[in-house]
Amino acid sequence: MSGMTAPKGAFDVLPPDSARFLAVRDTLTAPLRRAGYGYVETPVFEHTEVFSRGVGESTDVVTKEMYTFDDRGGRSLTLRPELTAGLVRAFIEHRLHTGALPVKLWTVGSAFRYERPQAGRYRHFTQVDMEALGVDDPALDAEVVALGVQGFRDLGLTDFELLLTSLGDATCRPQYRELLVAHLEKLDLDEETRRRAEINPLRVLDDKRPEVQAQLDDAPLMVDHLSDSTRAHYDAVRQHLTDLGVTWTEAPRLVRGLDYYTKTTFEFVHHGLGAQSAIGGGGRYDGLSAALGGPDVSGIGYAVGVDRTLLAVQAEGLDVAASAGVQAFVVPLGAEAKRLAVRLVGQLRAAGVSADTVYGDLRLKGAMKAADRSGATHAVVVGERDLADGVGQLKDLRTGEQRAVPVGELFQALKDVVTA
């Protein structure tokens, strides 16, 4: 049966839980729509070099975690392990930099990484991703961070923390890199870690193994070696965040798992999630567009895991789902009543009321059970005798009260009570 089950590390989101998933997704994206970010769709697969050049050769994502395959034309394609590189590719291909800047974009969709599945870490996951491209302004950095915070606040989350640092830029990173490399050379590191250090020594700071961390206590930190211009940029970002009422924790050892970050870098963590505590993160990536063959323009953005954020919502015991189900339910008893029910439900739906009826031949007891399960507050019950009298019974499912309403007025009466 293996072919008939979801692949390892993937999962299905089904009703009724899917109502919570949708609520989280929509709440995280609402602040972006309010801030004038435009929605985009990019392909779920790209040419492999979009990620090898965009995400970075030294990252675990590129070296170990990508789903890469040759298509029938012999082209190397990769399922996207993250969404930023594809968005920037689209920004370049469609020459969006020639219009008004910044270009503000958001998307939501699946990403794929071949990782060891564990709680909160899947091989197929959903991300909300946003980017502001083409302008290097600390006020824009602050807007981006604050929009991420707003999404979590709107969900009612309180047990999350914003970690913030600056990773410098081309003016100060090279000197810092030399200091760090000199420090790492003195340490007792295995071959693979040394290789990683050669490509991007910053990645070693992110090594979670205690035996590596123990040796890094006195490693030099980027934030202590910022140039005057990057220090001023970082100070301005923090001032704007303060003005926006956003609090953060300085995290000088924060290194995101992708190579393209510069300057402002941040992560959202939740304290109720155990080892996989990150629920989102991002930063400024001033070299990414150029690395993908586009104009040398800056950008900043973040990605938030919808699945992870849902786990955070559950960890805090929050009920985020808009009431799943319908507002109105019609119970027909008999063939003639069935015609009336189908017509009535169609009219209600067309008028913007969520409504449903029973399908299959259920007797009164089963039909009323379906009405209760539907989540509706009101039902119309139409039996043979009711039809003969030209009425339907309008019933309040919360109180059990009911009254007879002429058939011609049923639509209006039901619409009025459920939208009152």
Is residue 57 included in any domain, yes or no? yes
Q: Is residue 7 part of a domain?
A: no
Q: Are residues 130 and 30 in the same domain?
A: yes
Enclosing domain of residue 161 = 16-171+227-316
Look at residues 264, 296, 316 and tell me which one is the last residue of a structural domain. 316
The pTM for the full model equals: 0.88
Give 331-349 as a DSSP string.
EE-SHHHHHHHHHHHHHHH
pLDDT at 275: 77
Q: How does pLDDT run across 2-31, given as a tens digit for each residue?
A: 669 999 999 899 988 899 999 999 999 999
Whether 107 and 252 share a structural domain: yes
Q: Are residues 277 and 358 in the same domain?
A: no
Instruction: For residue 398, count other CB atoms closer than 10 A to its CB.
Output: 9
> Quick one: average pLDDT of 208-218?
85
Q: Are 43 and 137 contained in the same domain?
A: yes
Annotated binding site for L-histidine: 82-84, 113, 127, 131, 256, 260-261
Which pLDDT band, with edges at 50, 70 and 90, does 199 fall under? confident
Domain boundary among 316, 351, 372: 316
> Quick check: is 235 in a domain?
yes
The answer to whether residues 60 and 143 belong to one domain is yes
Are residues 336 and 254 part of one domain?
no
- Beta-bridged to residue 162, according to DSSP, are 268
Q: Last residue of a domain, which of 256, 282, 316?
A: 316
Q: Give dist(CA 395, CA 417) in Å, integer.
A: 10
In this prediction, residue 420 carries a pLDDT of 86
Per-residue model confidence as pLDDT tens digits over 245-280: 999 999 988 876 556 678 999 999 999 998 779 999
346 & 233 share domain: no
- Cα-only R_g, the chain: 27
pLDDT digits (tens, 9 = 90+) for 363-415: 899 999 999 999 999 999 999 999 999 999 999 999 999 999 999 999 999 99
Whether residue 397 is found in the same domain as residue 277: no
Residue 368 belongs to a domain: yes
* Binding site listing: 82-84, 113, 127, 131, 256, 260-261
Dihedrals phi, psi of 167, to nearest 5 degrees: -100, 15
Does the residue 116 lie in any domain?
yes
Whether residues 339 and 401 fall in one domain: yes
Q: What is the CATH number of the domain that holds 269?
A: 3.30.930.10
Out of 232-241, 339-348, 356-365, least confident range: 356-365
Query: How many domains is the chain partitioned into structurally?
Result: 2
Q: Is residue 55 domain-resident? A: yes
E strands in 63-158: 68-70, 76-79, 103-112, 124-133
* Same domain? 291 vs 387: no
The CATH number given to whatever domain includes residue 404 is 3.40.50.800
* Residue 189 domain-assigned (yes or no): no
Residue 208 lies in a domain: no
Distance CA 300, CA 285 (A): 6
Q: Are both 308 and 384 inside the same structural domain?
A: no
Q: Are residues 294 and 349 in the same domain?
A: no
